[in-house]
Structure 1
Amino acid sequence: MKPLKNKVSITLDEDIIKQIKELAENDDRSFSQYINMVLKNHINDTLQK
């Protein structure tokens, strides 16, 4: 069975990386988990408009 997640490579501004790392730590999530959550929320919000 194929994995449900795929690896991707993106380039982010250093200040964004720092902020995401802090937010992820405060939410007890990994950097990757936090980005995934933020993107899902953004997509859901955008589709509901």
Structure 2
Amino acid sequence: MKPLKQKVSITLDEDVIKNLKTLAEECDRSLSQYINLILKEYLKNLDQQ
């Protein structure tokens, strides 16, 4: 069973969104999926410190 997801609304800088969209497209992911992936990796790295 997939983990449950919740919708959130955030405000990001325009240049950040542009870069994330480009990177997401290169990975064949949606912007939302890509941001989720980045945040998961960031949190995982915090736990390892």
TM-score, length of structure 1 as denominator length: 0.93
Indicate whether 1:43 and 2:43 are aligned. Answer: yes
Runs of 4+ in 1 over 2 A off after TM superposition: none
Other-structure match for 2:31:
31
Aligned-pair CA distance for 1:12? 0.0
Q: Is there any run of 5+ residues in structure 1 with no aligned partner, and where?
A: none
- What is the number of residues matched between the two proteins? 47
TM-score, length of structure 2 as denominator length: 0.93
Q: Percent identity?
A: 62
